[in-house]
A and B are shown apart, each in its own frame.
Chain A
Amino acid sequence: MMKEQNTTNQAQAPILVVDDDYHLCQMVKWVLEDEGFEVQMAADGREAVERALLQQPKLILLDMRLPLLDGKGVAKQVHAHYGTRVPIILMSADWHGEEKRRQIEAVAYVRKPFNIDDLLQVVQNTLQRSA
Chain B
Amino acid sequence: VAERAQREAEDALQIRNDFLSSISHDLKTPLTVMRGTIQLLQRRLKQGDMSALLDRLKVLEVSINKMQGMIEDILTIAQLKAGQHLDLDIRPLNLFPLITRIVEEQQEITHRHHLHLSTYSRDLPVQGDAIRLDRVITNLLTNAIKYSPDGGSITLDITDEEESNQHWIVMRFQDQGIGIPEADQPFLFRPFYRASNARGHIPGTGVGLASAAQVVREHGGTISLSSQQGQGSCILVRLPVNGKSEERGDV
Contact = CB atoms under 8 A, between A and B. Distances in A.
Interface string A95-118: 000000000000000001111110
A37 to B, nearest CB: 14
B40 A65 contact: no
Given A44-B149, A93-B29, A113-B28, A26 B203 contact: no
Contacts of B150: 68
Interface stretch (B6-14, B30-38, B232-240): B30-38
A66 B32 contact: no
A117 B59 CA distance: 19
B27 to A, nearest CB: 8
A26 B220 CA distance: 40
B204 to A, nearest CB: 9
Interface residues of B, number: 31
A112 B32 contact: yes
A31 B56 CA distance: 11
Contacts of B109: 22-23
B203 A113 contact: no
B203 A24 contact: no
Contacts of B66: 23
Contacts of A21: 29-30, 33
B25 A31 contact: no
B63 A23 contact: yes
Given A23-B30, A23-B62, A65 B39 contact: no
Name the residue among A19, A20, A68, A93 with the largest chain B CB count within 10 angstroms. A93
Contacts of B62: 23
B104 to A, nearest CB: 14
Interface string A73-111: 000000000000000000001100000000000000000
Interface string A39-71: 000011000000000000000000001111000
B196 interface: no
A80 to B, nearest CB: 21
A93 B27 CA distance: 9
Contacts of A127: none
A6 B163 CA distance: 66
Contact of A31 (B34, B36, B112, B202): B36
B36 A116 contact: yes
B24 interface: yes
Name the residue among B21, B22, B25 with the largest chain A CB count within 10 angstroms. B25
A8 B218 CA distance: 59
B167 interface: no
Contacts of A115: 35-36, 39
Given A31-B40, A117-B39, A24 B32 contact: yes
A100 to B, nearest CB: 12
A4 interface: no
Name the residue among A20, A24, A68, A115 with the largest chain B CB count within 10 angstroms. A24
A21 B39 CA distance: 19
A43 B31 CA distance: 18
Contacts of B116: none
Nearest to B147: A67
Interface of B: 21-22, 24-25, 28-37, 39-40, 43, 56, 59, 62-63, 66, 109-110, 112, 146, 149-150, 201-203
21 contacts: A20-B203, A21-B29, A23-B30, A23-B59, A23-B63, A27-B32, A27-B59, A28-B36, A34-B40, A65-B22, A65-B25, A65-B203, A93-B28, A112-B32, A113-B31, A113-B34, A113-B35, A116-B35, A116-B36, A116-B40, A119-B36
